[in-house]
Structure 1
Amino acid sequence: MTEQKNTNTNYINVLITLFLLGAFVIGGVIFYFKSIKKNKVKIIGISCWSSDPEFHRSIEGFKQGLLENGYVEEKNVKFIIKNPEASIDKQREIIDSFIQAKVDLIYSLTTPGTLVAKTLTANMKNPIPIVFSICTYPVESNLIASLESSENNLVGTRNYVPFSQQYYTFERVFPHIKTLGIIRRKGEPNSTYQFAEVKSHLKKRGIKVVDIAAVDLSDIKQQLKTKIASVDALFSTCDTLTHEGGDQIIAEFSVQYQKPSFACNKGGIIHGNLIGDIADFKAIGKISGEKAALILKGSQPSWMKTESPRDNYIIINKKTASALGIVFTPEIHDIAKEIITD
């Protein structure tokens, strides 16, 4: 009887040992594969929308935000960068290629480009996270539910500076405006929402608005020829048409007809507009990079806020000021983050 009891005890001990050993092995395997998954090189697909140098500065800032949070290019993160050259059809092809490549995250620039990315990834069982930038009105454009939470697979930064702030900066240089010409792309969401904001603000100030809603660059030229005599100054809005050459046309008309202009894009001031209180694309790109790093570490886009520029960025063009006979005050010089001299 004692011998039988000892045999049973030994059997049970063997079973316990085998169970513990099995649990240890399984735990080790799970830890190993989790470690591989955690440490694998992340792949990010980037669609820069166009060849605008400012868009490339956005990508520089995005990479910097990732780097400062532990993601080093070619070490633990790789980038697939593609350019649709402002074509919706090419953007669809690019986003499809990112989906087929099973990238870990997509970085998309501009509202039109990001709307495509949102639509195509929404059909996925597990939508790829999208971090965006240079989307002025992401809520109004139906990219996200609110700035507090997207309620979907998107989060990012908007290049939004309140028009009241932009106009105040311009007014300090060129006051007493009675009529302002607003140049924008006809039908583009950002353009439509910004125009509504501009009209609302200027109506309170008793300032008349002349709407120059163009379909392409040729249309901008044609409309400016017929309407510029009726305005005191010009404003270049934050849309893709101004990015794609509109700013330069506006600047040329501004100098030729001696009508000061201000812009909400840095490229506008570089190309010859007088002044701008703008969003620095590299700075907001860096914020987007910080958000991408959190997502790659396990956060969900809907957990995070979509942000606006954290700092004011005033840029002035002294060459244009000289051509217009305008002298910037020492105060404007002091607050300017960047001065264009040639």
Structure 2
Amino acid sequence: MKKSLAIVLMGVLLLLSACGGGSKETSGEKKEKEVKIGITQIVEHPSLDAAREGFIAALKDAGYEEGKNLKLDYQNAQGDMNTNLSIAQKLVSDKNDLILAIATPSAQAVLKNTKEIPVLFTAITDPVGAQLVKSIEKPGGNSTGTSDTHPDAIKNTIAAIKKFVPNAKKVGIIYNNGEPNSVVNVKNAKKAIEAEGLEAVETTITAGSEVKQAAESLVGRVDVLYIPKDNTVVAALESVITVANAKDIPTFVGEGDSVKRGAFASYGLNYHDLGYSTGKMAVEILKGKKPSEIPVGFPEKLELVINKKAAAEEGITLTEDLIKDAKIVGE
């Protein structure tokens, strides 16, 4: 009886062992390692959002997809510098395989906290001046990415002021002088304004809540407004547009997404494409390439974007000749 029971138990154990082994074999191939990518973005606005979406699209096209082999941790500082620093520290301590930093403050905060994790940046005005890389061609260190500074963007946008508002003399500029990218943009804009025989009138802000008041302070003092690629102001762009429309002040901006939101015109770039280019860099890094081996990328093309509704609101008469080469929105 005991011998028979022992035989039965051995049979059960063998059966269980076989079932266990079978489950491993039928579970399919060895699971692909999950890639962890942290994303930090300084503030929410359409251009930066589009860059992030383009980045994720490039990863997906290369076979990296959330829920399968990719884990994304997206954090937004909503313009708060203390939050921005905390996000950077968290993404580094979580030991992500790669971190994407969208806009200059985000990239600077991450690089203060890691020299080991590969860092990609996008929507950056001056990567060298912001000390994110040693040079454009040879970044060095653990970071590289894409800049949104096309050499002709500001110059062409300022030249468009003379084209669409020929009687303009003074150009109002609103920006946050605490953003290094804005300081560079405004410096370049002032050079272009002076080259066109115009005068720049600056007003600075420190928070989005001050933007509308800044716009109102320029009423009666300027003929047009120019809003650079300033994250704080662009995040509160509707405040500027409300004043501009009420007072018939044509508003030129630093990127095309702001035209879609109601500003009049810009020579802009496609931020989704910029983010997509950054995503392709991420794929290279995940496959073994070092950030120091990848030169910083730039937008390949610009397009004149005009908002027809804004033109009517801000007192600009458009002719077929004026808009023949433009992309028209707001119809």
1:193 and 2:184 equivalent?
yes
Q: Which residue in 1 is equivalent to 2:163?
A: 172
CA distance, structure 2, for counterparts of residue 311 and residue 57 of structure 1: 17
SS in 1 for 2:185: helix
Name which of 121, 124, 131 aligns with 1:135: 124
CA distance, structure 1, for counterparts of residue 93 and residue 53 of structure 2: 25
CA distance, structure 1, for counterparts of residue 274 and residue 328 of structure 2: 17
CA distance, structure 1, for counterparts of residue 31 and residue 113 of structure 2: 27
Structure 1 residue 159 displacement after superposition: 1.7
Q: Which residue in 1 is equivalent to 2:64?
A: 71
1:99 and 2:92 equivalent?
yes
Name which of 318, 328, 334 aligns with 2:308: 318
Q: Which residue in 2 is equivalent to 1:16?
A: none
Structure 1 residue 38 displacement after superposition: 12
Name which of 320, 324, 328 aligns with 1:330: 320
SS in 2 for 1:253: helix
User: Deviations for 1:54-103, whole angstroms, at most 9, x for unmatched residues?
Assistant: 33322210012223333333333221112222222222222222222211
Name which of 97, 101, 107 aligns with 1:108: 101
Name which of 209, 215, 225 aligns with 1:224: 215
Higher mean displacement: 326-335 or 232-241: 326-335
Q: Which residue in 2 is equivalent to 1:263?
A: 253
CA distance, structure 2, for counterparts of residue 86 and residue 166 of structure 1: 26
* Residue identity in the other structure for 1:96: Q
SS in 1 for 2:47: helix
SS in 2 for 1:231: coil
User: Deviations for 1:239-298, whole angstroms, at most 9, x for unmatched residues?
Assistant: 1211220x2222122122211111113342233210111232211000100111111111
CA distance, structure 2, for counterparts of residue 262 and residue 111 of structure 1: 22
Name which of 124, 142, 162 aligns with 1:153: 142
User: Over aligned residues, Cα RMSD in angstroms?
Assistant: 2.3
SS in 2 for 1:230: coil
* Residue identity in the other structure for 2:113: L
* Residue identity in the other structure for 1:151: G
Structure 1 residue 130 displacement after superposition: 0.8
Structure 1 residue 175 displacement after superposition: 2.7
1:254 and 2:214 equivalent?
no
Provide the TM-score with structure 2 as the length reference: 0.83
Structure 1 residue 170 displacement after superposition: 4.1
Structure 1 residue 110 displacement after superposition: 1.0
Instruction: Report % sequence identity.
Output: 27
* Residue identity in the other structure for 2:268: I
Name which of 304, 307, 327 aligns with 2:297: 307
Equivalent residue pairs, number: 301
CA distance, structure 2, for counterparts of residue 182 and residue 57 of structure 1: 25
Q: Which residue in 1 is equivalent to 2:270?
A: 280
Q: Which residue in 2 is equivalent to 1:204?
A: 195
Q: Which residue in 2 is equivalent to 1:84?
A: 77
CA distance, structure 2, for counterparts of residue 38 and residue 336 of structure 1: 50
SS in 1 for 2:39: strand
Structure 1 residue 304 displacement after superposition: 1.1
Flag structure 2 segments of 5+ consecutive residues without an equivalent.
1-28
